[in-house]
Every structure is written in C-alpha cells, then in structure tokens.
Structure 1
Amino acid sequence: MNKQNEIVFTGIVFIAMAYGISRFSYGLLLPYFGDDLELSNQVSGMISAISYLTYCLGLVSMFTIFKNYQPRAILLISGSLSLYGLYNLMVAEEYPLFGAGVIILGYAAGLATAPFGQIIKEKVSYGHQDRSNSWINTGIGVGLILVGIIVWIVGDAWRISYAIFLVISLIIMYFSYKKLPKVDMSHLNYKTDLRNIFVGRKMIISTVLLGIGTSAYWTYFQSYVFQTPHDDVKNLFWIMLGVGGVLGGFAGHMNERMGTVKVHILTCVLLAIANVTLVVTENFFLMIFSTTLFGLVYVFAMGVYAFWCARCYTEYPAMGIIVTFVSLAAGQFLGTFLSGFLLERFGYQGLFYIYGAFSFLNIFFRPLAEELADI
C-alpha cells in the first residue's frame, strides 16, 4: 500500500471510530439502555443536546488548536477521548456518568473532523485530494455498518456492545498511532479573521440548508420504522444506511466526470427523494431504498462540500472543513428544533415532505463555475 492510500485508509477507519461507532451508536442503542439507566425522554434529549453542543465546541476550538498542535497530535487526542467516552458508557450504572461519556464523545468527534483536511492538503498529490477526502468520509458508513451488525448479533446486551466497540476502537487507535503522518505546519501563517471565515458565504448558506434537509431523517427515521410492520428488522435499516454511506465515497469520481455544480444539483434532488420515499408508503423495499439512498447522499454531500470549501479556502483547507461542519451542525440543530413542532402538527408524512422540500430548495444555492476553478 503506497503512502497516499495508507493515509486514506487510516482516515476511513478513524472516522468510523469517531463518528459511526462513538457518536452515532447512542441513537441506535437508546432503546436498549434507556430502561436500565432510567433515562426519561427529557434526560435523553438533554444529553443528546449537550453532546451536540460539545461537538460544535470541538469544531470551533480547532481555530486555535491548529496554531499549537500537529494534525496528528489532535487526532490522537480525539481518539483518546473516544476511548474514555466509550469506557464510561460501558461501565455506567447511572445516567450522569453515561451522559458524561456521550458528551465527551461529541467533543472527540468535533476534533476528528478538520485535521485530515490538512493532512490531505500536505501529503496527497493535488489530483487525488478531492477523491481522498470523499473516501475518508465513507468511514461514517463503515462505522454504522459495524454498529448495526454488532447490535443485531448482541441484542439488548448493550454493555457487551460497548465493550466490543471499545476493543475495536483500541485497535484503530493503535493502527492510527503507527500510520498517521506528521505534517510540517511551519509555512502556514494563519490568523483567525472573520473575513477569512465568511469568504464562502454562499457555501455556508447551502450547508445550513443541507443540515436542515438531513436533520429530520437522523432524528426520526428510526422512530418511524418502529411505527411500521418492519420494526423487527430495524437494525437492517441502520446497516443499509451505512452501506449507502460507503457507496457515497464515489463522489470524487462523479465530481471528476460531471463537475461539482451538476453533482451538487443531483445531491439536492436525491436527498429530497430520500426524505419523501421513506414515508410515501410502508413498502419494505421502498423504505430500504430510501434509507440506503440517504446514507449515500449524506456522505456524497460531504464530498461535494469538501470540493467546494477547498476552492473557497485554498490556503487553509482545515478552516474550510471547520466552517462547513459548523454550518452543517447549525442547520441540523435548527432543523431538529423545528422538526418536533412540525411532527406534532403534520405527522411523519408531512414532516418528511417538508424537509424534502428544504432539500430541493438548496438547488438555488449551488456553486458558480468560476468559484470552482482550480487555483
């Protein structure tokens, strides 16, 4: 395996740990540990909300951390926090310790996002950077598949699930420690300047809309599945979402063939279709199609915005990634906040139709060709 492929593979397994295993397993396992820890809906929602805030804090803190630490060191700190958070979840007897673990995992995921952008910038040849970023994002899907399979096998023994997650994460951390490269940051003369942060204004608006368009799915798709005759195979939907996420790694190839503008439009249309087809009927195959398509489009979109932000923030790509993910998180927070009211008023069908429309609206905030010119 050459050095560039080694970096990409390391990124995939690290993101699988930081996102798929550490950050997203909470939602899948909530029905299993909720009763044991006497978690009310209010408490579980509060833990999730604080975890979201610490995720944003992790992203924003990168603006200052990058001045003092190597990307490799930041990733190792992130991974160590993931291990500590997972250990808390495994041993917790009461919800305060469990909640602290979830909150730590949120911050760890925030730290894991930007460093790979700088590593790719410095260590991967220019013609392969977009494709490399796309494949690293598929780690989200890989992690979801692992979590879904493990929970399906283990069932309601959630402590065993977290013990397995911890062992897998330990292996990933050892591999990352051996393979993550050091990056020379001495040539960077970066200052946190609002003029730099908002240079990609249209991209920020578009990313917020993407966050809104994906928020209802992440929050309520499993709850909707529980209302259908297919709740006995609910883990299969989670696994297929992960499979779609892995397929989303082909965003780099699509971008090279079609161009980012056309791929952006395609992404918006497919996300709208994924939202609508989940609830248009309770047909099993159509719902599986919707879930797989959503996973594909979510990771696909990460690739599209990675291309866009790399052109907007040419000198400091890590900043572009931070801005992109903070904007995405802001959109998801806003979308999640509104979705509860919309669900109560319009039901599942109305909710997903509305968010499908939000996804389609994003077509009007596509990048211009001149914004994407290679520099």
Structure 2
Amino acid sequence: MKKKNEIVFTGIVFIAMAYGISRFSYGLLLPYFAKDLELTNQVSGIISAVSYLTYCLGLVSMFTLFRNYQPRAILMISGALSLYGLYNMMVAEHFPLFGSGVIILGYSAGLATAPFGQIIKEKVTYGYQDRSNSWINTGIGLGLILVGIIVWVVGDRWRIGYAVFLIVSLIIMWFSYKKLPEVDMSHLNYKTDLKNIFYGKKFIISTILLGIGTSAYWTYFQSYIFQTQYIQFTNLFWIMLGAGGMLGGFAGHMNERLGMTKIHILTAILLGVSNITLVLSEHFLLMMLSVTLFGLVYVFAMGVYAFWCARLYVEYPAMGIIVTFVSLAAGQFIGTFLSGFLLESYGYQTLFYIYGAFSLMTILFKPMAEELADI
C-alpha cells in the first residue's frame, strides 16, 4: 500500500507540472502576455489549437516509445521538454518563439499520460487501479491551484510567473526522478492494428465531443473574466477551478456507487451547465459555481472515460489510453481552432452557449450495457 501511495503521489505532482503548470497556464496568463506579444484572439486560438495537435502527436508516438523505452524514461523526456517549453515562453520577445514553447508543451503533455497508466497496471493491485488513475488525474487541479497562487503573487509580470513555473517544475522533475519505479516491459507487445484502434467507435465520437465542449473554456474563460467587473478576482476563479479538479479524484468512488452510464450522463449535463452558467449573467456566485464545477467535472470526465476505455480495450490497455486522449485532444484541437473565429464574430456569450451544447451532445453516445459487464 505504501508503494501504491508513493506512485499515486508522484503521478499527481508530475501531472500538475505537465498539465496544470505547463499546458493549461496558457489560458490564465493569456490576458497578461497577449498585449505584450501582440496576440489577437485568432492567433492565440491557432497557437492553442496547434498545441493540441502536437499533444496528439505525443500520444501517438507512445506506440514507438513503448517499444524502446521504460515508462520512467519517457516521463523524464516529457519533463525535460516541459522545462524547455517553459523557458522559451519566459524569454520570448515575440509570439513565434512563445508559440513554439506552447507547442512543445503540448507534445510533452502527450508523453505524460500513458506511462502512468502502464506503471499503475504493472505496480498496483487490480482493485486499486481505477482509483489510482483517478487520483493521478487530480494533478491537473493541483497544478491549476499552484498557477493561480503564483500569478496572484506576481500579478501581470508574466515573465516572472514563468520563471517560478520553471523552478517549481525543476523540483518536481528531481522528485519524480527519485521516486518513479522501473517497469519491466519485455513481456508486452504493442502492435498498431487499425481494427483494434477503432473497436470503440461510439466511445471515440463521445470523447471527441467532450474535447470540443471543453476547449473554449480552457482557452478563453479567463479572458472572459477580464471583461467583467470581477477582474480583481481572476486568480481566485482559477484557484477554484483547480480546487474543483482536485475533487474530481472521487470519480472512482462514484463510479462504483452509481454505475458508469449514469455517471456519464451526469458528467455531460454538468459540463454543459458549467459552460452556460459562466456567461448566463455576471453574478459572482454563479460564475464561481461555473469554474468550480468545470474543474471538478473535467477531471471527473477523464476518469469516467478512462474506465470506459479500460472495458473496451482489455487486450490492449496502452492502446485504450492513447485512443482516449488522442480523441479528446482531437476534439480540443477542432474546438480551439474554431473558438477564436467564433469569439471574433459572435462574442463570449454565444461562444460558451455553443460549446455547452457540444458538451450535452455526449449524452447521445453513452456506454452500452454489454461494454460494462464487469463494472
């Protein structure tokens, strides 16, 4: 049990670096650096969309990396790329170099997901695997909380903010290097078979819609806050988003109690509600509810979809993880690419209503009973 807890804690802090700090801090700091780097909404949307594309490339490259490297080594590569990307963003004077940092961070995050799934599979007792993966995903929330606190302290001095992110990431890298276990991969066979990849067609469509429905929130919710009377509370909103994400770790427990089909429907409804309530009215408590709910349900949804893919890709666990996150990132790429243009044309309210509708559409693609026979 001690070893399990050590792996989970290491996973939480590493995902806090790879996702919360490195990948999603872009949305929080966008209002600060956009003016300095002369970023329009369209350019910021394109940069974010390309980072989702490189995130997909990172995930797909796992098929090759798993044949040649241990999960621990892959995570060290991911961490090194995170440090390099953050450095580029810290020193950038113009948006091309800054954008390259964002894109590199997308790829590094793509390398950070599947290795932990494999470590959990090999090192944690079966009955604890779903819960362990759920709690590792809460690292996103922890990273968001750290980012929110750091930006609260440094204010609009975004370069100093990225310097602190870099220092925190270095500490996490050192800790992960010490604590991550070696995993024997010699008995595993990772073959890319298109027939097996597309086994869960309904699952893939649902995950793509989830990605589209959450993409605008990650990129523009903070910019929207800047347009309201609550600009002085922007970092508090971000911290509450992270706090909600930490609560998403209870997905495993809820899944056992209610069953995955009910949880899937509930997740879709709450994601739609969180998008819509953000712009429904400029009421402080309603907006605070929206960001907390979004953080909780986003991490919760990642856990739910991980459980679903585990039942579909029993013979190909690594492939299931990769298919899940590639589908999610594909949806986020599509959604982010379109969101900049929609924002320019129709404004924030229409943008979040449209993406709330995409979240609700995932109800139409829920798990089938025969896929969940062992739950």
Matched, 1:70 2:70: yes
The answer on whether the counterparts of 2:31 and 2:226 sit within 8 Å (CA) in structure 1 is no
How far residue 373 of structure 1 moved from its aligned partner, in angstroms, is 2.4
The answer on whether the counterparts of 2:131 and 2:253 sit within 8 Å (CA) in structure 1 is yes
Q: 1:232 and 1:373 mapped to 2: Cα distance?
A: 50
The answer on whether the counterparts of 2:27 and 2:220 sit within 8 Å (CA) in structure 1 is no
Q: Select the structure with the greater relative contact order (CA < 8 A; seq sep ≥ 6).
A: 2
Q: 1:189 and 1:222 mapped to 2: Cα distance?
A: 43
* Aligned CA distance change for structure 1 residues 93 and 70 (closer, same or farther; 3 Å): same
TM-score normalized by the length of structure 2:
0.95
How far residue 37 of structure 1 moved from its aligned partner, in angstroms, is 3.7
* Aligned CA distance change for structure 1 residues 347 and 160 (closer, same or farther; 3 Å): closer
Residue type matched to 1:92 in 2?
A: A
How far residue 253 of structure 1 moved from its aligned partner, in angstroms, is 0.7
Cα deviation digits, residues 80-136 of structure 1 (max 9, x gap): 111122222223344443332222111111111111111111111111111111110
Q: Map 1:165-176; keep pairs closer than 5 Å.
A: 165-176=165-176
Residue type matched to 1:189 in 2?
A: N
The answer on whether the counterparts of 2:274 and 2:291 sit within 8 Å (CA) in structure 1 is yes
Cα deviation digits, residues 242-277 of structure 1 (max 9, x gap): 111111111011011111111111101111111121
Cα deviation digits, residues 13-35 of structure 1 (max 9, x gap): 00000011111112222232334
Residue type matched to 1:312 in 2?
A: L
TM-score normalized by the length of structure 1:
0.95
Cα deviation digits, residues 255-307 of structure 1 (max 9, x gap): 11111111111101111111121111111001000110001000000000010
Q: Map 1:56-205; keep pairs closer than 5 Å.
A: 56-205=56-205
The answer on whether the counterparts of 1:271 and 1:297 sit within 8 Å (CA) in structure 2 is yes
* Aligned CA distance change for structure 1 residues 35 and 338 (closer, same or farther; 3 Å): closer
How far residue 146 of structure 1 moved from its aligned partner, in angstroms, is 0.4
* Aligned CA distance change for structure 1 residues 37 and 334 (closer, same or farther; 3 Å): closer
Residue type matched to 2:212 in 1?
A: I
The answer on whether the counterparts of 2:51 and 2:105 sit within 8 Å (CA) in structure 1 is yes
* Aligned CA distance change for structure 1 residues 336 and 26 (closer, same or farther; 3 Å): closer
Q: Which residue of 1 aligns with 2:361?
A: 361
Residue type matched to 1:269 in 2?
A: I
Q: 1:259 and 1:38 mapped to 2: Cα distance?
A: 48
Gaps of 5+ in 1: none
Question: Greater shift after overlay, 167-176 or 225-234?
Answer: 225-234
Q: Secondary structure at the match of 2:188?
A: coil
Q: Secondary structure at the match of 1:185?
A: coil
Q: What is the number of residues matched between the two proteins?
A: 375
The answer on whether the counterparts of 2:308 and 2:367 sit within 8 Å (CA) in structure 1 is yes
Q: 2:171 and 2:178 mapped to 1: Cα distance?
A: 11
How far residue 142 of structure 1 moved from its aligned partner, in angstroms, is 0.5
Q: Map 1:316-327; keep pairs closer than 5 Å.
A: 316-327=316-327
Q: 2:29 and 2:137 mapped to 1: Cα distance?
A: 23
Cα deviation digits, residues 40-84 of structure 1 (max 9, x gap): 555544433332222121111112111111111100110111112
Q: Which residue of 1 aligns with 2:224?
A: 224
* Aligned CA distance change for structure 1 residues 287 and 253 (closer, same or farther; 3 Å): same
Calculate the aligned-residue CA RMSD, in Å. 1.8
How far residue 139 of structure 1 moved from its aligned partner, in angstroms, is 0.5
How far residue 342 of structure 1 moved from its aligned partner, in angstroms, is 4.2
Question: Greater shift after overlay, 290-299 or 186-195?
Answer: 186-195
Question: Greater shift after overlay, 284-293 or 53-62?
Answer: 53-62
* Aligned CA distance change for structure 1 residues 40 and 214 (closer, same or farther; 3 Å): closer
Question: Greater shift after overlay, 296-305 or 276-285?
Answer: 276-285
How far residue 227 of structure 1 moved from its aligned partner, in angstroms, is 2.0
The answer on whether the counterparts of 2:84 and 2:101 sit within 8 Å (CA) in structure 1 is yes
Q: Which residue of 2 aligns with 1:207?
A: 207
Cα deviation digits, residues 210-246 of structure 1 (max 9, x gap): 1121122223222221222112211111111111111
The answer on whether the counterparts of 2:19 and 2:109 sit within 8 Å (CA) in structure 1 is yes
The answer on whether the counterparts of 2:138 and 2:248 sit within 8 Å (CA) in structure 1 is yes
The answer on whether the counterparts of 1:118 and 1:316 sit within 8 Å (CA) in structure 2 is no
Question: Greater shift after overlay, 124-133 or 84-93?
Answer: 84-93
Question: Greater shift after overlay, 320-329 or 86-95?
Answer: 86-95
Q: 1:276 and 1:90 mapped to 2: Cα distance?
A: 34
What percent identity do the matched residue pairs reach?
Answer: 81
